[in-house]
Structure 1
Amino acid sequence: VLSLCLYLKYNSIFLSVLFFFQAMYSTNRGTVGGFFLAGRSMVWWPIGASLFASNIGSGHFVGIAGTAAAGGIAIGGYEWNALIFVVVLGWLFVPIYIKAGVVTMPEYLRKRFGGKRIQVYLSVLSLILYIFTKISADIFSGAVFIQLAIGLNLYVAIIILLAITALYTITGGLAAVIYTDTLQTFIMVVGSFILMGFAFAEVGDYDTFMKKYMEAIPSNISYGNITIDPECYTPRKDAFHIFRDPVSGDLPWPGLIFGLSILAMWYWCTDQVIVQRCLSGKNMSHVKAGCIMCGYLKLLPMFIIVMPGMISRILYTDVVACVVPEVCQKYCGTTVGCTNIAYPKMVVELMPNGLRGLMLSVMLASLMSSLTSIFNSASTLFTMDIYTKIRSHPSEKELMLAGRAFMLLLIGISIAWVPVVQSAQSGQLFDYIQSVTSYLGPPIAAVFLLAVFCKRVNEQGAFWGLMVGLLTGLSRMIAEFAYGTGNCVTPSNCPFVICGIHYLYFAIILFGVSSIVILAVSFMTKPIPDVHLYRLCWSLRNSKEERIDLDADEQDKADQKDEESVNEENEEEPGCFKKAYNWFCGLDQQKGPKLSKEEEEALKKKLTDTSEVPLWRNVVNINGIILLTVAVFCHAFFA
């Protein structure tokens, strides 16, 4: 077994290199479609693996396992809720995005509503969310693991990881990201299953596991003359139930069903990182099959991350479940709790050297997987939605360079943000991420949902819905951070009217307010004529009429400028060094004869085609129904 694990560990590096160069050779990275959408040639299994790997980052291994150690299995409901929304993504949203012929989500809204302000607003907001939640959480989580596992300096480890990550993202484009995601998914699943086996071997069967978890109380529960409230260190009575009390529950069941569904719709159906993988599929059947594969993989985290996190509390109770500030400071460097180290602690203490190395590879793989996904998608947003507003008519080569340069800027910001993330090491990492998305994500979800399914919604309604939602969410977020979230030992003094509403309930309220504003303003202003909406909303998805895009004038100007820039290109043959540099960075544009109007129309039709072979359409539809049935069963079984 040890030899096999060492083989997997070292050969995974070799295979990653092979995948990387295969991606560089097999896709045209010198075009926007090739770099950002992998030439729309991906088959179902890399799509499914990449969707899973993009979602399951080191934040899951550290944050979710830590939350499970503190509160039980309810956090697994976050994973199983995704089983429903990957089906919604593949069957309802992606067909509209493909028919619209878009590369980014803000670009879809520009075609749907016209104007530039919504597109720029969403692009900037998405980049802010990427930097201050996704990137910071992944870097922090990876650093927690690396520090505990090998004692490497925090900043040295982060810089090395970011450098490696940036190398194959900047040079390889989306194809390299998807291929490496596929391999890393295999590494993550295998390594996590092995650790789960070791964990259950220590505690026994499931009944014994439940009994021991409820008895996992730390020995040190007082300091000085202060005795800590038993609620702070005693396992919850509902630890093995997903659905919890709507008032006193840490994850109340109405919030888990409705509030979480809003956040899941924002993440799975409108987020650039996720949707971009689906847009790379060679046809709709492959997209749907990839979503189904991701759904089945999402069944696993409950067993390979959540339960091992709870077992870590059983095995290392005084460390993982510590409540005395001085004791926690000694064990994990923070005074408010050490649940974040639940998963890495078990890896370091429980596994032999060879397997420990494999699990380190798993963590590094998940960290790099998430970061590459975010870097590539953030670069796409900046290049296509923001840079083109700064430089109105850039050449194809300039767009490629701008995308790579922005990735370097993201890396710099990420490293600069590390001290802030480190100071926020409070044992509330996962709650921090979810609360921020609850305050900023619901208005976006409302706009996309109504844009696709209600053709009466117009630009004014969408914009003011986003503005009202943003101000409402920011007011709650700023107030909560100003007062501090506190913890069980030292509760926050934030007024109940501001902070007392659970963030999942707040997501429901914010979604409702945003939707009402969108609909009210839209019905009080002029509707968008159908000629601008063909194949952009659900009721007109099968229209055959020619659509006149609301941004058609702007697109015509861009096409004219592209023609001029091509004519102005220096035709001088580059030297060998320049050729090598251009190939490595994907800037060799491989010029061929210019396509005629008929050929351009044929290519556009191919890229916006959502037709399916009847046999495979039935196969994926049946699997979609099975996946939804499994989701309902899992929720009911652990309710």
Structure 2
Amino acid sequence: MNLSTLDIGIFVAYVVGLILIATLVSREKVGHEKDTKDYFLAGNSLTWWAIGASLIAANISAEQIIGMSGSGYALGLGIASYEWLAAITLMIVGKFFLPIFLKHRIYTMPQYLESRYNHDVRLVMAIFWIGVYIFVNLTSVLWLGSLAINTVAGVDIFYGLLFLGAFAAAYSLYGGLKAVAFTDIIQVVLLVIGGLYLSYTTLNMISDGNGVIAGFVSLTETAPEKFDMILSKDNPYYKDLPGITALIGAVWVLHFGYWGFNQFIIQRALAAKSIQEAQKGIAFAAVLKVIMPIIVVLPGIAAFSLFPGLDTSDQAYPQLMTLMPAGMLGLVFAALVAAIVSSLGSMTNSISTIFTMDIYSYYKPEKSQHHYVLVGRLVSFSSLIIAMIAAKPLLGNFDQAFQYIQEYTGFFTPGIVVIFLLGMFWNRTTPAGALAAAIGSFVASVVFKVLWPTVPFLDRMNFVFFICLGLAVLTSLMVKEESDQVHTMEKADFHTLKSYNIVAVAVLIVISVIYITWW
């Protein structure tokens, strides 16, 4: 299906408008030259609404909209556990993790690891993150985005890749994090409006025009198996979401790794005006997370009713988009592309931040601020090129790209979570223990994948997490302490505002009711 002239006009207006706004917010005052703090941390100018919106925009991209809709089509509402448990995780991160990071005024997560351990740990983790961001995250966003453009607009996948890469570079390369974060506000508004309209339209269609509620009730009656939050072992998709173990086990490891220690997510909070602004932004993002399944999962379940028998489940969301009338299709299409380019901009900025501040500046320590900003821009651009080349070979044959992302980031996540949790809350953890967890995470994951390929990847992550925990503790106790910093890190203030605590309780209650209802 091709876009109408009206749809194309709306989409072009969005593209041009976003680039213009990004350019305007990126302008510096006369006489001020953009430095690393401006480029990588938005000059520590972000307010709570910008932080919250940008967190969601960075997270909700093609792999979320298309990938989670595809998983909704295949396995149902259970996949929404990723969204709802993420809301709880965000509140924990805001209260217990964020104060530690902001107290030490860091640019990157690897930088914190050097202050806590040593440079070797910082370097190893910097290389890990750059590899994962380029070959898992960037490639998946580009591939799924180009797939959507191909389905809706009839554009060849190759040209879709080129367009997305060029668009992301055009609006984010010059301004850095500031351009990304402030334009993310527009992206999220567009995403929510477009996503809710799509859900409304599909549910109304299922009810034959009798309304959204009737459509939802009809959907629960005609496809009750799609509304199981906890999958049983006889479910064909149990390997993707292994029942109760997913709820109480490895999903939390994934979430702490993603929301707590993931550079391209936490970088927004590091750029906050204050700890209070950062925590309010985290709370805002948690509230938005509660409603995200309506936008990213429900359409996939609806597509199961409207388009049974699709070749691949990831075709669900693009197929639904073809049902939209002229004008609204352009808006929904713009919302999808908004989510894609926002994540691309966020990821490339974080890749450039880690490379420039954790690797390049160590070997070239006396260069000018202008030089480091230039290196950051070159790295951002290069990462996009590499990801565009690697996208099809890595993802072309996957049915559910969202599961691909979760599985292969899971090779590193258990070790990362162990390193940070022990580093923040157990003073006796040593650099040798941290490196043992990092290396053990990858090695153990590969061994499980090769020798026990049938085990669900979330169960595998559980096993690997405890292996890494044991390795880190034993190594720290056995190997002589290599850094005095394990005893000199200052304690943070974990006090939060009353409003923050109220939001946390409200989020927990709402999510508990959802699980009780569809257990």
Q: How does 1:443-592 map to 2 (within 5 A)?
A: 443-477=415-449, 479=450, 498-527=452-481, 533-536=487-490, 540-541=491-492
Shift of 1:312: 1.0
1:372 aligns with 2:345: yes
Task: Letter of the 2:116 partner, please give it.
Answer: R
Quick check: 2:116–2:423 contact (8 Å CA) kept in 1? yes
1:338 aligns with 2:348: no
Within 1, Cα distance between the matches of 2:244 and 2:33? 46
Give the match for residue 201 of structure 1: 204
Query: Secondary structure of 2:142's partner?
Result: helix
| 1:592-625 superposed Cα distances (whole Å, 9 cap, x missing partner) | xxxxxxxxxxxxxxxxxx998xxxx222232222
Cα 1:111–1:377 change in 2 (3 A) is same
Q: How does 1:51-200 map to 2 (within 5 A)?
A: 51-114=55-118, 116-200=119-203
| 1:93-112 superposed Cα distances (whole Å, 9 cap, x missing partner) | 11101111211000100000
Cα 1:286–1:15 change in 2 (3 A) is farther
Give the match for residue 211 of structure 1: 221
Shift of 1:144: 1.2
Task: Letter of the 1:22 partner, please give it.
Answer: L
Task: Letter of the 1:156 partner, please give it.
Answer: Y
Shift of 1:531: 6.5
Quick check: 1:347–1:359 contact (8 Å CA) kept in 2? yes
1:401 aligns with 2:374: yes
Give the match for residue 331 of structure 2: 358
Which has the greater radius of gyration?
1
1:434 aligns with 2:434: no
Equivalent residue in structure 1 for 2:502, among 619, 622, 634: 622
Give percent identity, aligned residues only.
Answer: 27
Within 2, Cα distance between the matches of 1:300 and 1:16? 25
Quick check: 1:83–1:296 contact (8 Å CA) kept in 2? yes
Q: How does 1:243-258 map to 2 (within 5 A)?
A: 243-245=230-232, 249-250=238-239, 251=241, 252-258=243-249
Task: Letter of the 2:26 partner, please give it.
Answer: M
Task: Letter of the 2:24 partner, please give it.
Answer: Q
Give the match for residue 303 of structure 1: 294
Cα 1:381–1:247 change in 2 (3 A) is farther
Cα 1:422–1:78 change in 2 (3 A) is closer
Give the match for residue 23 of structure 1: 25
Within 2, Cα distance between the matches of 1:88 and 1:170? 32
Query: Secondary structure of 1:245's partner?
Result: coil
Within 1, Cα distance between the matches of 2:81 and 2:392? 31
Give the match for residue 210 of structure 2: none
| 1:321-380 superposed Cα distances (whole Å, 9 cap, x missing partner) | xxxxxxxxxxxxxxxx421110110111x1112111111101110110110000000100
Within 2, Cα distance between the matches of 1:30 and 1:187? 29
| 1:9-46 superposed Cα distances (whole Å, 9 cap, x missing partner) | 56544652453133212586711111111111111001
Task: Letter of the 2:459 partner, please give it.
Answer: Y
| 1:374-408 superposed Cα distances (whole Å, 9 cap, x missing partner) | 00001000001111233243322221111111112
Within 2, Cα distance between the matches of 1:8 and 1:163? 19
Give the match for residue 272 of structure 1: 263
Cα 1:154–1:11 change in 2 (3 A) is closer
Cα 1:628–1:5 change in 2 (3 A) is farther
Q: How many residues align?
A: 503
Give the match for residue 493 of structure 1: none
Cα 1:29–1:375 change in 2 (3 A) is farther
Shift of 1:437: 1.8
Shift of 1:421: 3.5
Query: Secondary structure of 1:299's partner?
Result: helix
Greater alpha carbon shift after TM alignment, 22-31 vs 164-173: 22-31
Quick check: 2:264–2:347 contact (8 Å CA) kept in 1? yes
Within 2, Cα distance between the matches of 1:200 and 1:81? 25
Shift of 1:84: 1.0
Within 2, Cα distance between the matches of 1:430 and 1:521? 35
Within 2, Cα distance between the matches of 1:531 and 1:119? 14
| 1:553-582 superposed Cα distances (whole Å, 9 cap, x missing partner) | xxxxxxxxxxxxxxxxxxxxxxxxxxxxxx
Query: Secondary structure of 1:209's partner?
Result: helix
Structure 2 stretches of 5 or more lacking a match? 208-213
Quick check: 1:37–1:174 contact (8 Å CA) kept in 2? yes
1:240 aligns with 2:227: yes
Greater alpha carbon shift after TM alignment, 73-82 vs 621-630: 621-630
Within 2, Cα distance between the matches of 1:465 and 1:374? 25
Structure 1 stretches of 5 or more lacking a match? 215-236, 321-336, 480-496, 543-609
Within 1, Cα distance between the matches of 2:469 and 2:372? 35
Cα 1:24–1:12 change in 2 (3 A) is same
Shift of 1:299: 1.6
Task: Letter of the 2:461 partner, please give it.
Answer: A
